[in-house]
């Protein structure tokens, strides 16, 4: 269980960092930084099997590469997906059960 907890905490820490980067980059209208952080979040999410979050992050990455896109509109789906993954991880750790992923 120790390894699972370490993996979960590492994912959450990395995910929070990427989400903060995305939010700040959106505020600056820096599509490249948004795309880079979204790509990292998608990759990290796939590593642990969080496919819904990975999909939302890839969608944000695609949106960020479009100069006409409103980046703010794509953020809520990523935030919701991350919150769902976080809830699943924390619940699994509280119950001392294997992660859903």
CATH of the domain at 51: 1.20.120
- Identify whether 100 is part of a domain: no
Task: Kindly provide the residue ranges of all beta strands, DSSP E only, lying in the chain, ordered along the sequence.
Answer: none
- Report how many domains make up the chain: 1
- Identify whether 20 is part of a domain: yes
Under the banding of pLDDT at 50, 70 and 90, the label for residue 88 is confident
DSSP state of 50: -
- Identify whether 18 is part of a domain: yes
- Identify whether 101 is part of a domain: no
Domain region containing 87? 2-95
What is the percentage of the chain residues whose pLDDT exceeds 90? Answer: 57
Q: What is the pLDDT of residue 54?
A: 94
pTM: 0.83
In whole angstroms, give the CA distance from residue 62 to residue 8: 27
Tell me: pLDDT of 16 over 90. Answer: yes
């Amino acid at each position: 269980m120790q390894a699972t907890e370490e993996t979960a905490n590492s994912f959450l820490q990395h995910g929070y960092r990427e989400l903060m980067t995305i939010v700040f980059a959106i505020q600056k209208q820096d599509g490249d930084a948004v795309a880079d952080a979204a790509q990292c979040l998608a990759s990290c999410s796939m590593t642990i099997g969080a496919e819904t979050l990975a999909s939302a992050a890839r969608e944000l990455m695609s949106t960020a590469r479009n100069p006409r896109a409103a980046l703010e509109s794509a953020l809520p789906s990523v935030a919701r997906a991350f919150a769902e993954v976080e809830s699943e991880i924390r619940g699994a750790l509280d119950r001392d059960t294997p992660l859903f992923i």
